[in-house]
Amino acid sequence: MSSFSNSDEENVGMSPVRKRAKRTYISASEKNIILNIYKAELLKNPGKSVTDIVQITARTAGVSKRSVFRIRKEGMSGEISSPKRTKIRQKIVEKVDDFDKNVIRRIVHQFFHRNELPTIEKVLEVVNADPTLPNFQRTTFYKLLKSINFKFTRRGRNSFLNDREDIVVWRRSYLRQLKQFREANRQIYYLDETWINAGHAKNFVWKDTSIISARAAHSSGLSTGLKNPSGKGKRLIITHIGSVNGFVDGALWTFESKKTVNYHEEMNAAKFEDWFSKIIDKLEENSVVVMDNAPYHSRKIEKIPTSKWKKADIQQWLRERGIMFADDMVKIELLHIVKQQQITDVYAVNEIAKRKNVTILRLPPYHCELNPIEMIWAQVKNYVAARNSTFKFCDMVRLFTEAINVVTPENWKKCIDRVITDFEEKFWQLDGIIESAIEPFIINLNDSDDSLVSNTSCESNIE
């Protein structure tokens, strides 16, 4: 049995040192502290082995023995320094934008329309063959499908992809309500946000393949082709609303983005609600506004307790409403009382809409093809891309303004009619086809069964 050192005896009865979080940087100053601990232990216990001293130092400093050995080696060479910080790698699934996710969803549903089983292998083959979409490995693609609300459903001996039940219910409810609103002759407006970069241009252009250098072009009196943008450039964030009568006059909201990753980071409920409050009076009485489920569209006026809440906060919520509960109740009992109140979520945007007796109708997640304004955005962006030659932000904004002005009510009607025939009617029929083909045996994607491995709000049109 090994004996305790002096430092071990001093630590008896004390709380253990908390270990350092994994994958965190050890700065030069921290390394020096660890090195000093090592040297102090070495002086206290000159007869102990290096391994024992390192173990005591690691336990005292809350780091691994490997880190202590590495710092000891650096100290002996006299080169103590802070490591170079590298960027945290972003997961591949998180890099896929909402537009590409929506395209992948549509590819899966094209199999349904052809009455063909969409396995991962079949869908992945189509996706990887599409030059406009990223290429995926099978495991990554599996995770991506799960993130956009697909699951595996077993039909007899075959497994295939299908939307989650809650998404199907949401979609059916959306389509049923939309049909009722149209039958009641209520005006329907379609709202959405998007963006355009200063460097927005056509992806495919004609190129003279015989010109292989600038020198060859100059000597022959020709050119090397169109100039390419050096980068995406500044970004214009756009919010608008329209109907079969065209864009709503005076409702356009734009601003220059200060971010480079995702424009949703700059949108918030306060800004959106302020804009919506100003344009609500421009809408017809008793109309309907279709929008997606972006967080800034869905701020709740009153937050209802969930399992993430602290017990004390749930108790306070109940007290403020005069709801009785026992002090010895555990958290799950308190949440059960909350559930019994049958309180429905109240959204700030819905309350604003009530001023004009306007109804808010929210799209199912990742169903931006059901919003005709997405096709209008495509028309606007194509107009800009075809004429953008300077790739300057001010010139792009001018082209965007022109593009908005050339969109006519006829364009809107065509887009709305196309959504009805190409998507709404097909989705309605498709859910019935799938239901008749599926046996009620659902496989949970979270299962660790290897046989599964072998067999998700579209919020914007991103180019």
CB 154 within 8 A of CB 441: yes
Q: CA 355, CA 169: separation in Å to the nearest integer?
A: 29
Q: In terms of C-beta density within 10 A (0-12 exposed, 13-18 middle, 19 or more buried), how is residue 439 classed?
A: exposed
Q: How does pLDDT run across 338-380, given as a tens digit for each residue?
A: 888 877 778 999 999 998 999 999 999 878 889 999 999 999 9
pLDDT at 453 over 50: no
Dihedral sign, Cα of residue 210, residue 214, residue 219, residue 223? positive
CB 11 within 8 A of CB 56: no
Q: What is the pTM of this model?
A: 0.59
Q: Which residues pair with 442 in a beta bridge?
A: 153
Give the mean model confidence (pLDDT) for residues 442-457: 39
Q: Where residue 410 falls among pLDDT bands split at 50, 70, 90?
A: very high
Q: Where residue 188 falls among pLDDT bands split at 50, 70, 90?
A: very high
What is the structure's pLDDT at 8?
45
Q: CA 153, CA 439: separation in Å to the nearest integer?
A: 8
Q: CA 364, CA 170: separation in Å to the nearest integer?
A: 6
Q: Where residue 208 falls among pLDDT bands split at 50, 70, 90?
A: low
Q: CA 235, CA 259: separation in Å to the nearest integer?
A: 8
Amino acid identity of residue 375, one-letter, is: M
Q: CA 407, CA 248: separation in Å to the nearest integer?
A: 12
CA–CA distance from 20 to each of 52, 58, 67, 194 (Å)? Answer: 20, 10, 11, 42
CB 189 within 8 A of CB 287: yes
Q: How does pLDDT run across 21-56, given as a tens digit for each residue?
A: 555 678 888 888 888 888 888 888 888 888 888 888
Tokens 């090397």, located at residue: 224
Q: CA 41, CA 61: separation in Å to the nearest integer?
A: 12
Q: CA 277, CA 270: separation in Å to the nearest integer?
A: 11
Q: How does pLDDT run across 301-348, given as a tens digit for each residue?
A: 888 888 889 999 999 989 988 899 999 999 999 999 988 887 777 899
Q: What is the DSSP letter of 86?
A: P
Contacts of 333 (CB under 8 A, 6+ apart): 325
Q: Where residue 120 falls among pLDDT bands split at 50, 70, 90?
A: confident
Q: How does pLDDT run across 248-270, given as a tens digit for each residue?
A: 999 999 999 876 555 556 788 89
Q: How does pLDDT run across 209-229, given as a tens digit for each residue?
A: 556 666 665 566 665 555 666
